[in-house]
Chain A
Amino acid sequence: MQYQSQAVAKPYFIAAIGLFVGQILFGLIMGLQYVIGDFLFPEIPFNVARMVHTNLLIVWILFGFMGAAYYLVPEESECELHSPKLALLMFWVFLVAGALTILGYLLVPYATLAEITGNSLLPTMGREFLEQPTITKIGIVIVALAFIFNIGMTVLKGRKTVITLVLLIGLVGLAVFFLFAFFNPDNLVKDKFYWWFVVHLWVEGVWELILGSILAFVLIKTTGVDREVIEKWLYVIIALALITGIIGTGHHFFWIGTPSYWQWWGSIFSALEPLPFFMMTVFAFNMVNQRRRNHPNQAAVLWALGTAVMAFLGAGVWGFMHTLAPINYYTHGTQITAAHGHMAFYGAYAMIVMTIISYAMPMLNGRKAANSGKSQVLEMWSFWLMTVSMVFITLFLTAAGVLQTYMQRFTDNPQPFMEVQGRLELFYWMREVAGVIFLIGLIIYIMAFFVGGDEPEQA
């Protein structure tokens, strides 16, 4: 660790991993509810479990992004963080607000939560992924502003690099587009239309900038390839991401009451969205092949390469599969969407957070550059267990989705939703088994932090 203030990243990373465990546990509950419909009913109905599952995901990824920024910005800027105290304060604010919100979901009926948090004053609740009470949303804005101020001031006073600049653009975009979460008109079509300004312009827009800059940072550090080369790649990747991704928002505007021309705009531009992810894969492998040194942290290199590949598969390939309007007409809102969502989020965002954690944590724990060989072997096992089981979760959901699409939408004799769900049970069971293996992988991932602590680093 070159700068003392980088240490504030550590609690962010620990919180991220802790919430990740919660996310997976609730995922397993939901997976079971898919086949044993009354599991935990009515104590934890599916909608509550899902809210916890998706909100924990968003929050732990945000914790990861913030930790990543606090770790890499001082090093890139070659100066201490503007205010480590503010960073630590915001950590606790965000953690407590997040925990209270999750407890609110679990302990009181959602309608009661809406009532006691004064939702009627500024109704923003009850929309997918934006279920948080309005006061929590305001809290998120405050934390985000304080965070961006802290990072921005650090960037301003220090060395300016392309990585910090791209990261900052991504973070500002994240904060700006989140403001659409407060716009919730009575008009359902408008509500849906602007809802995507948060959801799509985050995950298929500005988050890709954050992803790209974290990946570029880790690749510079682990491969020793010239910064100029890596920064050029970064610019090309994020240029492609925004050029395809902004108009690509149109692939959500096919069937929600918006004009039909979106079918053309959305299909064409979103069909190109795999390109930046493909470039990212080529980039990561090229840089590792051209490496000027063998970094002792091989686990971090594995995560970096894995992120590029899985983001391309999950976001790129599985996204393309159902993005063309004539296909989406049949697959919209089926298990195909769920399959894509799982691998894309894991591949692009969960894995990039684990990449930076893998790279930074040894230093944050006072080691020189890497964990012991023993710890890295365990970490790599967890990489493969989680990644392969996520591939299988995706494949089983895809199989379920294809059948669902056929039986409920495509055949001459369409069956009712619940009828079809019953026929898909086998695939849901298989998905649940893959989910349990994912959890085992996650447990091993955490174990890796606690083994071989007093053993020397690999050469």
Chain B
Amino acid sequence: MSQTFTKSMARNIFYGGSMFFFLLFLVLVFDTESALPESDNRAAITEEVAMGKMVWETNNCIGCHTLLGEGAYFAPELGNVYKRYGNSTEAIKAFIASRPKAGIPGRRSMPQFNLSEEELNAVAQFLKYASEINTQNWPPNIQG
């Protein structure tokens, strides 16, 4: 780089630029916080949904599935599974409960997590809540 562009100019761009854009980021974060109630479906967060999130987390569901497109890419997207299963929490529960312990020969299979009825209800309610978050129309279709 040329002599007219000095190290102290580069340093000032680093400090000034990072500071400015970090503050701009903070402004956007605060604005997002105030806008979230309109899109994050928080009214639907009951105690059961909160428990469902715990069940989701403590069984590491994200280790295979995506949820709103984030997670692992080994198993189907679950952000819209409630809708894909015909708006039925019962279908979700039935699927989870019926996984064979030893798996399916040669194929990917979800483990049997031995969830209680209460846990099954909770995780199904959690997935229903997730499916009603405003995700700007993502995913493009019901297949997730």
In the complex, A45 Cα to B144 Cα: how many Å?
Answer: 23
- Nearest CB of A to B53, in Å: 6
B17: chain A residues at CB < 8 Å are 239, 242-243
Check if B49 is an interface residue, CB within 8 A of chain A: yes
Bound-state Cα–Cα, A342 to B42, Å: 35
Interface core residue of A191, A243, A415 (most chain B CB under 10 Å): A243
Interface range for B: 35 or more
Proximity bits, B56-94, A CB within 8 Å = 1, else 0: 111111111011111111111100000000000000000
CA–CA, A192 and B53, complex, Å: 12
Give the contacting residue for B133; candidates A38, A189, A410; CB below 8 A.
Answer: A189
Contact with B along A247-273 (1 / 0, CB 8 A): 101101111111110110100000000
| A415 and B143 contacting across the interface, CB-CB below 8 Å | yes
Q: State in angstroms the CA–CA spacing of A295 and B123 once bound together.
A: 60
In the complex, which residues 108-139 of chain B have their Cβ closer than 8 Å to any Cβ of chain A? 108-109, 111-113, 129-130, 133-136, 138-139
Contact status B54-A123, CB under 8 Å: yes
Query: Is B39 interfacial (CB 8 A cutoff)?
Result: yes
Closest A residue to B23 by beta carbon equals: A246
Known: A47-B64, A123-B57. A187 touches B45 (CB 8 A): yes
Which of chain B's residues have a CB closer than 8 A to the CB of A193? 32
A263–chain B nearest beta-carbon distance, Å: 7
Partner of A259, one of B25, B39, B59, B112: B39
Instruction: Judge whether A46 and B36 touch: CB under 8 Å.
Output: no
List chain A residues, Cβ under 8 A from B56. Answer: 126
Knowing A236-B10, A255-B136, say if A37 contacts B60 (CB, 8 Å): no
Expressed in whole angstroms, the Cα–Cα distance for A413 and B82 within the complex equals: 20
- With A46-B74, A188-B130, A330-B140 in contact, do A232 and B7 touch (Cβ < 8 Å)? yes
**In the bound complex, do residue A414 and residue B111 qualify as a contact, i.e. CB atoms below 8 Å apart?**
no
**Number of A positions contacting B (CB below 8 A):** 80
With A126-B61, A192-B68, A232-B6 already in contact, the answer to whether A254 and B143 are too (CB < 8 A) is: no
> Smallest distance from the beta carbon of A278 to chain B beta carbons, Å?
15
Q: Please indicate the chain B residues that have their CB under 8 angstroms from the CB of A257 in the complex.
A: 36, 39-41, 68, 133-135
Which residues 22-36 of B sit at the A interface, judged by CB distance below 8 A? 22, 24-25, 28, 31-32, 35-36
A459 within 8 A of B: no
Interface string of A19-57 (1 = CB under 8 A from B): 000000000001001101110011001111011000000
Q: Which of A33, A120, A335 contacts B54 (CB 8 A)?
A: A120
Q: How far is the CB of B97 from chain A (nearest CB, A)?
A: 16
CB-based contact A126/B59 at 8 Å: yes
A334 CB-CB contact with B under 8 Å: yes
Of the candidates A36, A42, A329, which one forms a contact with B140 in the assembled complex, judged by CB atoms under 8 Å apart? A329
A238 within 8 A of partner (CB): yes
Check A128 against B71 for contact (C-beta < 8 Å): yes
Q: Which residue of A lies closest to B135 (CB)?
A: A255
Question: How far is it, in angstroms, between the C-alpha of A410 and the C-alpha of B45 when the chains are bound?
Answer: 33
Complex Cα gap A421–B115 (Å): 27
Bound complex: CA A415 to CA B84 (Å): 12
Q: Report yes or no: B22 in contact with A128, Cβ–Cβ below 8 A.
A: no
Contact of A233 among B1, B72, B74 (CB under 8 A): B1
In the bound complex, residues from chain A placing their C-beta under 8 Å from that of B72 are 46-47, 50, 128
State whether A259 touches B35 (Cβ < 8 A). yes
Whether the Cβ atoms of A417 and B64 lie closer than 8 Å is no
Task: Give Cα A15 to B102, complex, Å.
Answer: 36
Which chain B residue shows the least CB distance to A404? B73
Contact partner, B7, options A45, A235, A409, Cβ 8 Å: A235
Residues of B within 8 A of A334 (CB): 73
Q: Are A265 and B70 in contact (CB under 8 A)?
A: no
> Binary interface profile of A, 47-69, with partner B (CB < 8 Å = 1, else 0)?
11011000000000000000000
| Contact of A42 (CB < 8 Å), options: B61, B101, B141 | B101
> Is A409 a contact partner of B68 (Cβ separation < 8 A)?
no
A454 in contact (CB, < 8 A): no
Inter-subunit contact A329/B138 (CB<8 Å): yes
Known: A37-B106, A247-B24. A111 touches B113 (CB 8 A): yes
Residue from the set A119, A256, A260 with the largest chain B CB neighbour count within 10 Å: A256
List A contacts of B144 (CB < 8 A): 408, 417
Is B28 a contact partner of A128 (Cβ separation < 8 A)?
no
What is the 8 Å Cβ interface bit string for chain A, positions 176-193, against chain B (1 contact, 0 not)? 000000001011111111
Complex alpha-carbon distance, A125 and B36, angstroms = 24
CB neighbours of B10 from chain A (8 A): 232-233, 235-236, 239
Chain B contacts to A: CB under 8 angstroms: 1, 5-7, 10-11, 13-14, 17-18, 21-22, 24-25, 28, 31-32, 35-36, 39-42, 45, 49-50, 53-54, 56-64, 66-77, 101-109, 111-113, 129-130, 133-136, 138-144
- 20 A/B residue pairs, CB under 8 Å, sorted by A: A38-B109, A42-B102, A46-B75, A47-B61, A114-B58, A119-B58, A126-B58, A126-B62, A184-B57, A186-B53, A188-B67, A232-B6, A235-B14, A238-B14, A243-B18, A257-B36, A259-B32, A329-B140, A417-B75, A418-B108
What 10 new A-B contacts, CB under 8 Å, besides A47-B111, A189-B40, A335-B73?
Answer: A186-B50, A228-B7, A236-B10, A252-B70, A255-B68, A257-B68, A259-B31, A263-B136, A329-B138, A338-B73
- Which 10 A-B pairs rank lowest in CB-CB distance, beginning with the nearest? A47-B63, A126-B57, A333-B69, A37-B108, A255-B138, A235-B10, A189-B40, A239-B14, A417-B76, A242-B18
